[in-house]
């Protein structure tokens, strides 16, 4: 982990230099990012720099995904992610490093514990793969730089929330409040949003759902919305600013109504709103600016 960080971080910091990505991937990267072969001396010679960098980011993402697996298992149960070490839930045997390589170990072990053959759920490699794809996808969208780090952390947190909310209707404070702190901290990074915008977004996000929850409770005479959703939208606001919080809430409610209300109506399952708020936040992060521009010029006409 540390060795990958030591490669990635200097590149991220200097990612605004021009021309890091020449070669077959240059068309995929945002213009103006990168400089002559910063990575080429580090990684396999002869491999185009874009592909090598994507590989590094994919491995880094898979390792983040491996840690995310620990978080989504332990935080909802109120357990520490540091201690005890990862162990088999069947026989309690600690998992050695070679059985803990993201995706690869699960495939080599054919999805079973080495000591007791208890099945290891396919969710583990799936989350690792998903996180690797998120980070590589974001790199192709943003190139290397602070924006990739910020969006990567944001999307990883959103994935964690979507998993715990879908599985147990729970949004651990470590994701929402921990993410809120990270979002405010990352607002100090160059090229992103201002700290003022992050704070306003967090306050507005919290207030929007707090008021909605209070009004809903008055109308329905029962709790209408979990406190986890409220803290989550505060976190989303810290990453996306006030307009981003509003758009995420709107899109999340829209997608949630279309997808889940018919299901909820039949099975009487409550809506895991955090899942849809996460979807809304992802759309906003990637295409929010364009959506708002389209709304302003094409629909409102100014
Ligand atoms: Zn076992």
Summarised one tens digit per residue, pLDDT across range 193-217 is 899 999 999 999 999 999 988 888 8
Instruction: Quote the ligand 1 centre to 170 CA distance (angstroms).
Output: 27
Q: CB 167: neighbour CB atoms within 10 A?
A: 13
Q: Which residues contact 6 (CB under 8 A, 6 or more apart)?
A: none
One domain for residues 161 and 71: no
Q: Do residues 263 and 122 share a domain?
A: no
**Residue 63: which domain range?**
1-144
Which backbone phi and psi does 266 adopt, to 5 degrees? -80, -45
Residues 300, 237 within the same domain: yes
Q: How far is the CA of 93 from the centre of ligand 1 (A)?
A: 6
**Which residues in 74-95 are b (16+ Cβ under 10 Å) and which e?**
bbbeeeeeeeeebebeeeeeeb
- How high is the pLDDT of residue 47? 52
Residues 197 and 94 in one domain: no
For the chain, where are the alpha helices, taking DSSP H only?
A: 2-13, 49-74, 104-108, 123-142, 146-168, 173-186, 195-220, 227-267, 273-294
Ligand 1 centre distance from Cα of residue 98 (Å): 15
CA 222 to chain centre: 31
- Report, as ranges of residue numbers, the positions in the chain whose pLDDT lies below 70: 1-49, 224, 302
Report the predicted TM-score, pTM, of the whole model to 2 decimal places: 0.82
Q: Which of 78, 112, 144 is the last residue of a domain?
A: 144
Are 170 and 67 in the same domain? no
Cα 87 to averaged position of ligand 1 atoms, centre (Å): 8
Looking at 100, 124, 144, the residue that finishes a domain is 144
Asked whether residue 164 falls in the same domain as residue 282, the answer is yes
- The three-state secondary structure class of 275 is helix
Distance 115 CA to ligand 1 centre (A): 5
Domain count, the chain: 2
The predicted structure's pLDDT at residue 26: 35
Q: How far apart are CA 291 and CA 208, in angstroms?
A: 21
Please report the pLDDT score of residue 39 as a whole number: 39
The answer to whether residues 189 and 113 belong to one domain is no
Backbone angles phi, psi at 292, to 5 degrees: -70, -35
List CB-based neighbours of ion ligand 1 within 5 Å.
Answer: 88, 90-91, 113, 115-116, 118
Last residue of a domain, one of 115, 144, 173: 144
Do 152 and 127 have their domain in common? no
Same domain membership, residue 292 and residue 162 = yes
- One domain, residues 106 and 158: no
* Torsion from C-alpha of 95, 113, 64, 79, nearest 10 degrees: -70
Omega within 30 of 0 (cis) for the link into 84: yes
Q: Are 145 and 12 in contact (CB under 8 A)?
A: yes
Whether residue 74 is found in the same domain as residue 188: no
Residue 207: the pLDDT is: 96
At residue 218, the pLDDT reads 86
d(CA 168, CA 272): 9
């Amino acid at each position: 982990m540390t060795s990958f960080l030591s490669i990635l971080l200097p590149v991220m910091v200097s990612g605004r230099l021009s021309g890091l990505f020449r070669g077959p991937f240059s068309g995929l990267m945002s213009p103006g990012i990168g400089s002559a072969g910063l990575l080429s001396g580090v990684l396999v010679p002869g491999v185009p720099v874009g592909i090598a960098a994507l590989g590094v980011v994919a491995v880094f993402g898979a390792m983040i995904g491996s840690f995310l697996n620990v978080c989504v298992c332990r935080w909802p149960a109120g357990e520490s992610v540091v201690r005890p070490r990862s162990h088999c839930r069947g026989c309690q045997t600690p998992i050695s490093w070679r059985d803990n390589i993201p995706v690869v170990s699960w495939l080599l072990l054919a999805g079973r514990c080495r000591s007791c053959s208890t099945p290891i759920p396919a969710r583990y490699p799936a989350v690792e793969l998903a996180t690797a794809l998120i980070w590589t996808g974001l790199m192709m969208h943003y190139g290397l730089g602070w924006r990739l780090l910020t969006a990567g952390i944001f999307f990883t947190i959103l994935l964690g929330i979507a998993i715990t909310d879908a599985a147990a209707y729970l949004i651990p404070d470590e994701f929402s409040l921990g993410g809120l702190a990270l979002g405010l901290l990352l607002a100090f990074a160059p090229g992103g949003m201002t700290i003022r915008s992050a704070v306003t977004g967090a306050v507005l996000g919290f207030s929007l759902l707090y008021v909605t929850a209070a009004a809903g409770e008055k109308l329905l005479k029962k709790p209408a919305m979990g406190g986890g959703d409220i803290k989550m939208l505060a976190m989303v606001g810290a990453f996306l600013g006030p307009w981003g919080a509003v758009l995420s809430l709107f899109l999340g409610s829209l997608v949630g109504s279309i997808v889940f209300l018919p299901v909820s109506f039949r099975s009487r399952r409550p809506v895991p709103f955090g899942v849809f708020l996460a979807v809304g936040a992802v759309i906003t992060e990637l295409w929010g600016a364009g959506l708002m521009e389209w709304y302003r010029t094409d629909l409102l006409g100014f």
